[in-house]
Amino acid sequence: MYVLVTYDVSTTTAEGRKRLRNTAKICLNYGQRVQNSVFELLIDPAQWAQCKAELCDTIEPQTDSLRFYYLGNNWKNRVEHVGAKPAIDLEGPLFA
Amino acid sequence: MKKHLNTLFVTTEGAYLRKEGQAVVVRVEKQTRLRVPLHNLDGIVCFGRVGCSPALMASCAKGNVSISFLNPYGGFLAAVTGFSPGNVLLRRQQYRAADAADSTLAIAKEIVAGKIANSRSVLLRAARDISAPDAQEQLQRAARRMANDVTMARNETSLDALRGREGESAATYFQVFSSMISPQATGFAFTTRSRRPPLDPLNALLSFLYSMLTHDARSACEAAGLDAAVGFLHRDRPGRPGLALDLIEEFRAFLVDRLTLSLINRRQIQSSDFEITQSGAVLLKDKPRKTVLAAYQKRKQATITHPFLDEKTTIGLLIHLQARLLARHLRGDLDAYPPFLWR
C-alpha cells in the first residue's frame, strides 16, 4: 500500500529540533521524501504498523502533529506531480 | 503471497552504494543520486566499477536482498551472500537427491520437458502472429517435431540421453528462430547460437538477458533455502550455479526469447545499438542496455496465472514459485516437480 506521511514538529526548543530530525529519519527509513516534511511510503501493512509506532513514539502529542493519508494500492491514479524534484517510482525500473 | 519487489540496477561507473538508515543510497562523485528503502528491493545488480559498503552488504544479506556484481556486459563476477539461509534439512535433501541417479533423472526430465514445451508454445504463438505463409509453415513444422520431443524426453532412461534430447530440440528451435524476426528488423539475422563471446547482436541480446535471468534464479534458490550451486540437469562445476541454470530452462524461451523478439520486432533495439570489439565479440552499448533492462523489469511485472498453483502472480515471481515447488518436491510433499508450462 501507499501511505503519505506529513508532520509538523514544534522547533522552538532543542528537544523539538531533535524530534524533527528523528521523525525525518524514521520516514526516510521506510520511504522517500517528496517535499519538506512530506513523505511517501510504499510499504506493506506489517511494516507500516512498525513505522507508525516508531513515529508516534517520537513526537510530543502536546505540540507536534502527524497526518497519515492512506492511498491504497491504486495510488498511481491519486497522485499527480507538477514542477521540480519529481518523486521516484519505486515500482518502475530503478536505475542509477 | 510474497509481493513482487523491485530490482535496483546500478549502471554508472564509479558509483558507490552505502547504507543510510534502512535505505540504500547511490552516490556518484560524492553526490547522492538515488535513495531507495531496502524493504522495497529484492535485488541490487551492479554493472562495472561499482563499490558497496560492508554495512550495506550486511543488511542486504540479513534482509534477503541479493547483491550481484557483473561486468558491464552482464557477465557474472560475484555475489554477496550472508549466512546460508533457509533450512539445512532441505539442503541435505537436495544433495541426497542430486547424488541419487533416479531422483536426479526424474527432476531433470521434468525440467527438460518444461523447456521443450515452452519453446514449442513460443513457436506456435509466433506462427499465429506472423502473416508470411512459408515462415508460418516452418514454425509449425518445427513445433510438430518438438511435440514429439516432449514425450520422448519424459521416457528417457539416462541423464546423458536426456541432455541429447534437449540439445536436439534446442537445435530444432534455433533453426527456425530467425523466422520469428520481422523482415523489417535489419541486422538481426540469426545463424547459430554463439556465446562467450556472442558474435552477433541477437546473440548478445540473448546472452545479456539470460544472465539477468540467472541472477534472478540464483536469488530465487537462495530465498527458497536451496543451494543454487547443486543442480540436477546441470552437473556441479566450481562457480557454476547449477540449480539456478536448471530453473531458468523453463523460462528461457517464454521470458527471454519472447522479450528479445519483441524488442527487435518493435525496433526498440536496433543493430546500431551494438559495438563490435577487436576480438569479434558483440556488445550492447550503454544507453540501449538501459532500454533492455527497463523492458525486462516491465515484463517481470506483468501478471499471469500460475498453471499449477492456479494463483495470480507476476512473471518475475514465477521463478520464485518454481524454486519453492522444487523445494516441496525435495521435501517429499509433491510426488514430482511440476515445471512451469506456458499456455
**CATH number where B127 lies:** 1.20.120.920
Has residue B338 been placed in a domain?
no
Question: Which three three-digit cell numbers place residue B235?
Answer: 552437473
Has residue A84 been placed in a domain?
no
Nearest CA in chain A to B32: A96
Query: According to the annotation, is B222 in a ligand binding site?
Result: no
- Computed on alpha carbons and rounded to an integer, the radius of gyration of chain A in Å comes to 14
Confidence of residue B343 (pLDDT cuts 50, 70, 90): confident
Has residue B339 been placed in a domain?
no
Q: For A5, list phi and psi in degrees, rounded to 5.
A: -120, 125
Q: Residue B65: list chain A partners with CB under 8 A.
A: none
Q: Is A91 in contact with B29 (CB distance < 8 Å)?
A: no
Q: Tell me which residue in A29, A42, A91 faces B21 most closely, judged by beta carbons.
A: A29
pLDDT of residue B1: 46
Q: Residue B23: list chain A partners with CB under 8 A.
A: 28-29
Whether the ω angle into residue B201 lies within 30 degrees of 0, i.e. cis, is no
Does B221 lie in the same domain as B183?
A: yes
> For residue A47, what are the domain limits?
2-72
Residue after which a domain boundary falls, among B84, B108, B133: B84
Query: According to the annotation, is B166 in a ligand binding site?
Result: yes
Does B242 lie in the same domain as B274?
A: yes
Q: What is the pLDDT of residues B156-167, one digit of tens each?
A: 888 888 888 888
pLDDT of residue B83: 66
Q: Tell me which residue in A44, A92, A96 faces B26 most closely, judged by beta carbons.
A: A96
pLDDT of residue B289: 86
Q: Which amino acid is at B167?
A: G
**CATH number where A52 lies:** 3.30.70.240
Has residue B129 been placed in a domain?
yes
Does B39 lie in the same domain as B168?
A: no
Q: What is the mean pLDDT of residues B126-154?
A: 83
Q: What is the model's pTM?
A: 0.70
Helices B101-129 & B242-251 angle (0-180, nearest 10): 30
Structural domains in chain B (count): 2
Does B126 lie in the same domain as B59?
A: no
Does B180 lie in the same domain as B259?
A: yes
Confidence of residue B298 (pLDDT cuts 50, 70, 90): confident
Confidence of residue B84 (pLDDT cuts 50, 70, 90): low
Nearest to B77 by CA among B54, B57, B55, B49: B49
Has residue B340 been placed in a domain?
no
Q: Residue B314: list chain A partners with CB under 8 A.
A: none
Has residue B46 been placed in a domain?
yes
Task: Say yes or no for a CB contact (<8 Å) between A90 and B6.
Answer: yes
**CATH number where B80 lies:** 3.100.10.20
Confidence of residue A61 (pLDDT cuts 50, 70, 90): very high
At residue B306, does pLDDT exceed 50?
yes
Alpha helices by DSSP H, chain A: 14-30, 45-58
Q: Residue A90: list chain B partners with CB under 8 A.
A: 6, 36-37, 40
At residue A1, does pLDDT exceed 80?
yes
Structural domains in chain A (count): 1
Q: What is the mean pLDDT of residues A84-94?
A: 82
Out of B28-42, B66-80, B104-118, pick the least confident: B66-80
For chain B, the average pLDDT equals 84
Does B105 lie in the same domain as B74?
A: no
For residue B301, the distance in angstroms to the closest alpha carbon of chain A comes to 9
> For residue B181, what are the domain limits?
90-331
Does B120 lie in the same domain as B229?
A: yes
Residue after which a domain boundary falls, among B84, B119, B149: B84
Residue after which a domain boundary falls, among B53, B84, B115: B84
Cα separation, B216 vs B39, whole angstroms: 17
Does B131 lie in the same domain as B25?
A: no
B283 Ramachandran zone, left/alpha/beta (phi>0; psi -120 to 50): beta
pLDDT of residue B65: 84
Nearest to B7 by CA among B301, B223, B249: B301
At residue B128, does pLDDT exceed 60?
yes
pLDDT of residue A11: 92
Does B156 lie in the same domain as B48?
A: no
Sequence-distant (6+) residues with CB within 8 A of B100 are none
Does B187 lie in the same domain as B292?
A: yes
Question: Which three three-digit cell numbers place residue A13?
Answer: 526548543
Q: What is the pLDDT of residues B259-289, one digit of tens each?
A: 998 898 888 888 788 888 777 777 888 788 8
Q: Does A29 touch chain B (CB under 8 A)?
A: yes
Q: What is the mean pLDDT of residues B110-122?
A: 90
Has residue B184 been placed in a domain?
yes
Q: Which residues of A26-62 are buried (b: 16+ CB within 10 A; e: fewer)?
A: bbbbbbbebeeeebbbbbeeebbeebbebbeebbeee
Has residue B317 been placed in a domain?
yes
pLDDT of residue B85: 56
Q: Is B43 in contact with B50 (CB distance < 8 Å)?
A: no
Does B247 lie in the same domain as B118?
A: yes
Task: Say yes or no for a CB contact (<8 Å) between A28 and B290.
Answer: no
Q: Does A42 touch chain B (CB under 8 A)?
A: yes
